[in-house]
Amino acid sequence: MPAGRSRATTTSSTSAGGHVEIVELTKSFGETLAVDGISISIEAGEFFSLLGPSGCGKTTTLRMVAGFEEPTSGAILLDGKDVARLAPNKRNVNTVFQSYALFPFLNVADNVAFGLKYQSLGRSEVSQRVGEALDLVQLAGYERRRPGQLSGGQQQRVALARALVLKPAVLLLDEPLGALDAKLRRALQVELKALQERVGVTFLYVTHDQEEALTMSDRLAVMSTGHIAQLGTPREVYEEPADAYVADFLGVSNLMEATVIRSGTDSSPCQLQIGEFHLEAECGVLSATGAVKLAIRPERVQLKPYDEPGQNRVPGMVERVVFLGSASQVIVRLAPGETLQSLVHNDGELVAFQQGSAVNVLLPPDALRVLPGGGASVAEIREETYGDQPDLAAVASPGAP
Amino acid sequence: MATVAVPPNKASSRRKGPWRHPWGLEAFTWIYLIWSIVPIGIAVLFSFNRGKSQSAFQGLSLRWYTGTSQAFGSVMHDPILHSAVVQTLKLGFFVTLITIPLGVGFAIGIDRWRGRTSNGLNLVMIFSFVVPELLLAVALMFVFLQLLKFVHLGTDAETAALIVWNISWPAIIVRARLVTIGKVYEEAAADLGASRFSAMWRVLLPLLIPAIFASAVLTFASVVDDFVLVEQLSGPGSQTMSVLIYSQAHGGNNGPALNALATLMLVFSLVVAGLGYVAYRFMTRGERGSTTEALTSIAGI
Amino acid sequence: MPAAPVAPTATLRSRPDGVAPETSRAPGQAPRKPPLRERMRARSAQDRIESWRPRWFWAALAIPGAFWLIVFFVLPFYVVISVAAGILDPIFQSPVPVWNPFLWSASNFANLLREVSFLWPPFLRTIAYTAIASALSLAIAYPVAYFVTRYAGKRKTLYLVLLISPFWVSYMMRMLAWIDLLQVSGYVNKTLEWLHLMSAKNPESWLGGHPATVIFGLIYGYIPYLIIVLYAGLDRIDGRLLEASRDLGLGRWRTFWRVTVPLSRQTVLAGMFITVLPMVGDYFTNQLLSATRSTTMIGNVIEGQLDVANLQGDGAAASVVLLVLLLLPMIYYVRSTTKASRENL
């Protein structure tokens, strides 16, 4: 496919559309319920991610779409046809495995050509398609190499070429960048996204790295213990998390527990109380009552001088300042006891607040989000994400750039 | 930070103290190696002895291999010695040829087929590896005499016995390799369009070739070397080299022709081992590995 | 619905954000349910293809090998028991197997008991020789294997080749080598004379019935297998554990006793099994290196019984007894191997 066609999406040479519809898909292994009746609708040509921690069911879902696991119930519709119980070699779906699974006894060209043998093509056409696929992943000239002689990033590209050469309707990717170092990972994220746009194939991408999911996806589903916590575009999921779990999974959420004094409506903000401090919030589940959770992104937390009064301010003390280069992370302990993270951009001036100084923390109402109160407590959510090192919660890396 | 004055380095740079090289152990190892290998070298040397003695070296000669003297038989021309060589090679090849497919199929099948029966069969296979050979020989002898009388003692019985005695080589080695390989390659093959037969043929078997080769080499060497089963189940004209050496070596009244025979057995095993090693390196070229790995897998570790 | 082609922008997400979100927190909220369900039912009837990897496929692969094992391994042992529990044909004086378990007789076993005074010495000797030979083998093999795994460094390949090489030499040849050397006029005696440890007029006949020679032969014959097993096991021990132990202050010896030895327990056990069990059934070492009645082992007894038709029943009975005695260690070995392999997965 000539590079000039990269802008057009609908005329790419994929076979069918690639519209995937997952309907109430359930999978249980004996007693354990791995996937609990999820339903997703993925548009043709979309880059869709399943995001979640290990054990949430995302890989099981992927394997069911690929055909390596048989669902306990539910349907997987590929362009209208239910493939849930179809053998994996009969689906127009290909997979890029986490370990790449390149056949070590074949060279690169033979690896890529492996699936073409089942399509009864002539030899010249096979080598032409192989050449195209290798061009696509920028590995032209590597035909004779063996997988053992390639770097991790190169192996991953061969795996991609091997899958894409068969022109599938959907490409499944199982944490393909997990084994690579950070810099290579960022570079490949960009390449993968560009590749997907050029080829126009639907990508179903599984990852536990929220940064990856946010940067690459058109839409994503945040999963937790077998069900979907929230499904939406990256901006929606980040700015408007549906609950505390989603909020905390995607970047730092500065979760706090609070009590509603007076519920809000569409026109009036919600009045809340933390300790003895009064706050107003204008986002989230404004009609909630009783005990709720509050979330605010660190880039929206503002630090004001201690003696400056105003709305929505809570006094606190700076525990630590971490210099990140383009910004500084300021860890503040509020008077009621919570620890918040504030991200202060580096605009050339020194951060005014040194370790140990007192500040007033401004939580703007239009950035303060009310989340449903039930479920795990803040401490439990912290523990699930950061294990037995709660201090890490305070210095977790900021959200998507 | 205050700087600390570093005392000048001692003149000797040899590792001393806790990390010193264990010369005692090394000497011990070399003594063992010499004790282990040199006697065999001497025996090989004596196969080239000009004289008939096995204790006094009298010069080099090939007479025990190719000599045509009527008085003292040579391997090539003495009918008894010659037929023993032929019989040994025959058994070696046939048994290996049958054992390897049986064992490989067994390994793949047992690995994937979960269940009580497969566990039981696996246990039986391990027992066949552990039981003393004499007891198996006794049992098989009775089977062939009392029950399966159509299997005559001799080459047929020896073949059947050697197959069952050696089936654990491919079964265990291939099984170990299967565990390392895992399911992912076959899944990848299926994902790319392969039926289950095609996935096994085009992907699993090539991945197993090193293990198959290693177990074939080990099986061959084991069959050439085998003594107990062959002796107990022998019939007319089916003597192998091992049995011949045994029958003539009691008490030391024998000639260098036996040394020649034994040296030939050694050569056969080494040639096959060498071929196996070369084939293994060829098959796995381009894969990350090392000489040590090749050697250990050839030895069946 | 996806928008018209959009030029790639600075951000990686090229879909416009105006697409309506589809939050589905509760399970089972797909919008177009009823017609879907009907379509699903119709389709799945057509496309039902059985699982890609059915069980019978694997069973079929295993069947030929399994068949061979059952016919030529399991069955023979039943035959041995039937012969051992069988009767002696009065005319031909040959053993007649009794297939029906309910009709098994203990006459052959009774014979054994009567001959216990003949059987007892070889039996004890077997235990003694095997115990001494395996203990000495371990004492030799362990340091060698330990050295090669831990301290061989660059020459590891060389050591490995040398260690493995006896493996390729047949047992017969190894015995033959020592028969040559241990002859009355062989090099061993010549060396002893040269060292003035023995007089030339009264040379020792090493092959004339010395238990030491038989034990020596057993060690020499079986030690390569032991070394290979020990090498494999010791090699698997993580060197960092030993370094950590040294780091924590334990000296060389104490590290060895308190870290290496416990970690290698499983390997040593496995090695002992594959050494002791074959030694118990050994008869040819004694024949080759001694061939006198004073050093016979139980294997010789059984083999001798098999050569005579009317003693074959006794031979079968003795085999059964030996098998039963070895059964416990064999089961223990099999159990620990399968457990170890499951843990290693």
A100-123: pLDDT as tens digits: 999 998 999 999 999 999 888 888
Of B187, B190, B207, nearest to A105 by CB-CB distance is B207
The full set of domain ranges for chain A reads 3-238, 240-394
| pLDDT band per the 50, 70, 90 thresholds, residue C256 | confident
* Residue B6 pLDDT exceeds 60: no
Chain A residue with CA closest to B194: the answer is A89
C-alpha triplet A237, A238, A244: angle, nearest 5°: 80
Statement: A240-394 belongs to CATH 3.30.390.50: no
Residues B102/C65, Cβ–Cβ less than 8 Å = yes
Contact across the interface for A97 and B188, Cβ inside 8 Å: yes
- C41-to-C38, C45, C52 alpha-carbon distances in Å: 5, 6, 21
> Min CA distance, C45 vs chain A (Å)?
10
The region of weakest confidence among A139-143, A353-357, B15-19, B104-108 is: B15-19
Of C7, C21, C44, nearest to A82 by CB-CB distance is C44
Cβ-Cβ contacts under 8 Å, C140 against chain B: 32
What residues have CB less than 8 Å from B258, skipping those under 6 apart?
B244, B245, B248, B249, C176
The region of weakest confidence among A117-121, B265-269, C5-9 is: C5-9
Average pLDDT, chain A: 85
pLDDT tens for residues C51-81? 566 777 888 888 899 999 999 999 998 888 8
Instruction: Select from C1, C6, C13 the residue whose CB has the most chain A CBs within 10 Å, as the one to mutate to test that interface.
Output: C13
> Helix or strand or coil: residue A78?
strand
Amino acid at A74: G
Query: Hey, which of A313-317, C197-201, C326-330 has the most confident mean pLDDT?
Result: A313-317
- φ/ψ of A42, rounded to 5, equals -110, 125
Cβ-Cβ contacts under 8 Å, B287 against chain A: 104-105, 146-148
* Residue A174 pLDDT exceeds 90: yes
Rounded distance between C-alpha atoms, residue A22 and residue A78, angstroms? 9
- Tokens for C38, please give them: 């009907």
Rounded distance between C-alpha atoms, residue B176 and residue B172, angstroms? 6
Which chains touch C (3+ CB pairs under 8 A)? A, B
- Tokens for B54, please give them: 């096995």
* Residue B163 pLDDT exceeds 50: yes
* Residue C233 pLDDT exceeds 80: yes
Average pLDDT, chain B: 82
Rounded distance between C-alpha atoms, residue B72 and residue B79, angstroms? 12
Rounded distance between C-alpha atoms, residue A255 and residue A260, angstroms? 15
Ramachandran region, residue A310 (left: φ > 0; alpha: ψ -120 to 50; beta: rest): left
Specify the pLDDT at position B295: 54
Q: Is B27 on the interface with C (CB under 8 A)?
A: no
Rounded distance between C-alpha atoms, residue A348 and residue C306, angstroms? 98
* CATH class of residue range B83-298: mainly alpha
Residues A274/A338, Cβ–Cβ less than 8 Å = yes
| Long-range own/partner contacts, residues C332-337 (CB < 8 A, 24 or more apart) | C333/B130, C333/C269, C333/C270, C333/C273, C333/C277, C334/B123, C334/B126, C334/B127, C334/B130, C336/C266, C336/C269, C336/C270, C337/B126, C337/C270
Q: Of A375, A364, A368, A369, nearest to A284 (Cα)?
A: A369
Cβ-Cβ contacts under 8 Å, B288 against chain A: 148
Cβ-Cβ contacts under 8 Å, B184 against chain A: 97, 99, 101
Specify the pLDDT at position B22: 81
Q: Which residue has the tokens 């005392």?
A: B7
Cβ-Cβ contacts under 8 Å, A193 against chain C: 12
CA C286: distance to chain centroid?
23
Contact across the interface for C12 and A189, Cβ inside 8 Å: yes
Amino acid at A355: Q
What residues have CB less than 8 Å from B259, skipping those under 6 apart?
B43, B44, B46, B47, B49, B54, B64, C176, C180
Instruction: Count CB pairs under 8 A between chains B and C.
Output: 286
The region of weakest confidence among A9-13, A210-214, B145-149, C53-57 is: A9-13
Q: Which residue has the tokens 């092959």?
A: C207
Q: Looking at this predicted complex, what is its ipTM?
A: 0.81
Chain A residue with CA closest to C30: the answer is A39
Rounded distance between C-alpha atoms, residue C164 and residue C151, angstroms? 18
Specify the pLDDT at position A353: 78
Rounded distance between C-alpha atoms, residue B172 and residue B178, angstroms? 10
What residues have CB less than 8 Å from A171, skipping those under 6 apart?
A93, A94, A95, A96, A163, A164, A196, A201, A202, A203, A204
Residues A354/A328, Cβ–Cβ less than 8 Å = no
What residues have CB less than 8 Å from B281, skipping those under 6 apart?
B294
Instruction: Tell me the mean pLDDT in the region A48-54.
Output: 92
Chain B residue with CA closest to A89: the answer is B193
Chain B residue with CA closest to C171: the answer is B225
Rounded distance between C-alpha atoms, residue A136 and residue A128, angstroms? 12
What residues have CB less than 8 Å from B81, skipping those under 6 apart?
B73, B74, B75, B244, B257, B261
Of B55, B109, B298, nearest to C59 by CB-CB distance is B109
C-alpha triplet C282, C288, C290: angle, nearest 5°: 95
Residues A336/A275, Cβ–Cβ less than 8 Å = yes
Query: Hey, which of C78-87, C96-105, C199-208 has the most confident mean pLDDT?
Result: C78-87
Residues A201/A11, Cβ–Cβ less than 8 Å = no
Cβ-Cβ contacts under 8 Å, C170 against chain B: 224-225, 242, 262, 265-266, 269
Of A68, A87, A115, nearest to B192 by CB-CB distance is A115
Specify the pLDDT at position A116: 92
Q: Which domains does chain C have, with CATH numbers?
A: 56-105 (no CATH), 117-344 (1.10.3720.10)
What residues have CB less than 8 Å from C227, skipping those under 6 apart?
C141, C144, C145, C163
Which chains touch A (3+ CB pairs under 8 A)? B, C
Q: Higher confidence at residue C292 or residue A188? A: A188
Q: Higher confidence at residue B222 or residue B71? A: B222
pLDDT tens for residues A330-351? 899 988 888 888 888 888 776 6
The region of weakest confidence among A139-148, B102-111, C121-130, C179-188 is: C179-188
Instruction: Select from C56, C79, C156, C323 the residue whose CB has the most chain B CBs within 10 Å, as the one to mutate to test that interface.
Output: C79
Rounded distance between C-alpha atoms, residue B195 and residue B200, angstroms? 9
pLDDT tens for residues B201-214? 999 999 998 889 88
Total-model pTM? 0.80
The full set of domain ranges for chain B reads 83-298
Specify the pLDDT at position C194: 82
- Tokens for B120, please give them: 């039981």
What would the CATH number be for the domain defined by A3-238? 3.40.50.300
Chain B residue with CA closest to A161: the answer is B192
Contact across the interface for C14 and A218, Cβ inside 8 Å: yes
